[in-house]
Chains A and B, each alone.
Chain A
């Protein structure tokens, strides 16, 4: 059974909205959930719970729950710290400690947080994890990240190597390789650290729960096919994916959250409403975009504003698929739990090869009737970014829709140059506009 203590029904409306910031009810709900998880983590050791840490892509939340772990996700910590404008200092601290300026700032924000006494995003002290589940999925840096944490804390570490879909498909040998690692390496380690015996039926139970939330999430994200789109699939999207990409997949709370959310969104569709932005509802949908790449967290609001101010809504994004690609049919399958976990890991967005990623975006542009593609290229993230310029060209070529390229970083405020990005976005919007007018003139 889950130990998360979130009374979901009581939440909506409980907290008054702070000055001038608009959110959907579900957004409040998930914020509470995330904060509650931080609290759980903070008290875990006091209440005798073991703590695990793992990464968002390829996170085996259901499996970790089988061992009663409190679950920490260092990437999420970093992003939350970024949003709360605490990451800059953490990164500098890590750099002072000898980390290179060139490497991923998520890692540095995490290590910097440790140096600063492990104070988490909500101000509570986070525990040192008892086990690091190194889900080595779609990002090379993960491996170094946990090696670094291990070197510092001597935490028990267990590696789950997920092979890359180099030729664009998952073969049986890959699945077996992952399953075997689960059986022979990961599960025994988790049993040993937690002292809890693995119970596959418990896993099945959680996975059943996962599929419900997955179903609803897909419906939410695909609601953006409507005109106007009732959601922003990138800026809003990050709130929608929060619970399911983190410590909540497989919990009843998550299922509840997604059904509430789905209800809200379907209502918006019926009322033909646009997305909710921090400054209120977006009235006129002028541009529909697909976005590739993670957002910037340190200036998240300002960044979002550059879009909604000009009437741009993101109808689909690849970032909202980092913790699992569900919109092409994958669901966790309680009937073959380990295989299904393996396939989940193998299918994460950054584990797809380039042709697959390009296909996916082209499909989005088509199905969501987008005006074009915007790439937010993140300095930190080679996994996402190396090669995005080719993507841009290929997609432009294949769809005939204009694409634009901006650069920023996840949590390093030094790499968010507001004027620069605004300049490019403005030019891009004006360009779409001009093109539209030109085509209209022809017809």
Chain B
């Protein structure tokens, strides 16, 4: 398949706010169920092991007209919960049999309770994760949380979720994670071959496709784009961070690239790259998932850094590993976790002499001029001064 076709397919998946793929998947076999989850992370393995399709719900983007959703939120709250409610009340996601609201911030936390009230016939769970990383403290609590989810889903599925089911799912997701790592490595190596406006869509497809299918898609994309050489531009290499929850519109990503930046790492769809390496397959699956979470998972602002020295480490490592020249901090307006974290990260970057710039967006931001100006100035200053 040519790049164009792959991207077109992903684009169609991205734009489809009625989740036809999910509906089709369910229709293909009677009794199939789908469970939605919000950013940043849920152990999708458990959903999958219960024979269900995990579906990432990342807001409504800039195509949805939020009419009902606004009725639930004041203007100083970010946009993703309102567009998510809009998806809910307009029946666009009625194909989901349940929703998981991970512990990310108070907004999503409260949304879990609102969902309980608004969609009484669906399975709803607030999925808490530990902020204590000791095995016998946070680990035990987390395993217990996962066990509840496992039991709940088993009830919903009408069958047991066995350890072997879980191991098989972990295996599948390990492969998906591997493909994702390859994709990110590839982009960092040849960003002109894999512009982020495409990579974004390819990753995003993983929010609605079954894992095996998505893994294949990622592999196909890498092969296809590598076969079609494109022009290399004189752009600055940047890491984009802060967009782990509400997503910027695609136009914004394009604007950043147009303004002269190659994005070589980002924190979109972190769930696909949350576990930094393969989760151990053998042994107690829940404990394996827990250990990976406690000791080998990505960092983001909704996670507590145990020690002062840990703050920013992850970001610095990403800059180093992907050879970035700077960091673009793009956070959703009114996103408390990202915006409270920002000054800390900026300070650390400064200390390490890494240039950075910051701006805010909303998933429906329409005016790109200020974004272009800021990203462009940033790229200008890197370009004009790097070799000099």
Interface of B is mostly: helix
- Convert B120-147 into 0s and 1s, putting 1 for each residue whose CB lies closer than 8 angstroms to a CB of A: 0000011110111010111011001100
For residue A107, which residues in chain B have a CB less than 8 angstroms away from its CB? 340
For residue A353, which residues in chain B have a CB less than 8 angstroms away from its CB? 112-113, 116, 126
**With A166-B112, A173-B141, A386-B107 known to touch, is A159 a contact of B71 (CB < 8 Å)?**
no
Q: Is B157 an interface residue (CB 8 A)?
A: no
Q: Which of A102, A140, A151, A177 meets B106, CB within 8 Å?
A: A140
Interface residues of A (CB under 8 A from B): 97-100, 102-104, 107, 134, 136, 139-141, 143-145, 147-148, 150-151, 154, 157, 159, 161, 163-164, 166-167, 173-174, 176-177, 180-181, 184-185, 353-358, 377, 379, 382-383, 385-390, 394, 407
Q: Which of A147, A377, A388 meets B344, CB within 8 Å?
A: A147
B301 to chain A, nearest CB (A): 7
Q: Is B306 an interface residue (CB 8 A)?
A: yes
The answer to whether A387 and B339 touch across the interface, beta carbons within 8 angstroms, is: no
CA distance A379 to B134 in the complex (A): 35
Q: Can you list 22 A-B pairs with a CB-CB distance of less than 8 A?
A: A98-B343, A100-B342, A102-B76, A102-B335, A102-B360, A136-B304, A145-B340, A150-B308, A159-B304, A161-B130, A163-B141, A177-B130, A180-B140, A184-B137, A354-B110, A355-B113, A356-B113, A358-B117, A377-B74, A383-B110, A387-B110, A388-B74
Q: Is B314 an interface residue (CB 8 A)?
A: no
Q: Is B318 an interface residue (CB 8 A)?
A: no
Q: Is B281 an interface residue (CB 8 A)?
A: no
CA distance A150 to B308 in the complex (A): 7
For residue A100, which residues in chain B have a CB less than 8 angstroms away from its CB? 331, 339-340, 342, 360
The answer to whether B74 and A385 touch across the interface, beta carbons within 8 angstroms, is: yes
Which of B76, B342, B346 has the most C-beta atoms of chain A within 10 angstroms of its own C-beta? B76
Q: Which of B74, B101, B308 meets A151, CB within 8 Å?
A: B308
CA distance A107 to B106 in the complex (A): 16
The answer to whether B343 and A99 touch across the interface, beta carbons within 8 angstroms, is: yes
Known contacts A103-B340, A151-B344, A389-B74; 18 further A-B pairs (Cβ under 8 A): A100-B340, A102-B360, A103-B336, A143-B304, A144-B340, A150-B308, A163-B141, A166-B126, A174-B141, A180-B136, A181-B132, A353-B116, A356-B113, A377-B74, A379-B74, A387-B110, A387-B114, A389-B72
For residue B71, which residues in chain A have a CB less than 8 angstroms away from its CB? 389
Interface residues of B (CB under 8 A from A): 71-74, 76-77, 81, 101, 103, 105-107, 109-114, 116-118, 125-128, 130-132, 134, 136-138, 140-141, 144-145, 301-302, 304-306, 308, 311, 331, 333-337, 339-344, 346-347, 360
The answer to whether B73 and A386 touch across the interface, beta carbons within 8 angstroms, is: yes
For residue B109, which residues in chain A have a CB less than 8 angstroms away from its CB? 140, 164, 166
The answer to whether B128 and A180 touch across the interface, beta carbons within 8 angstroms, is: no
CA distance A143 to B344 in the complex (A): 13
For residue A150, which residues in chain B have a CB less than 8 angstroms away from its CB? 308
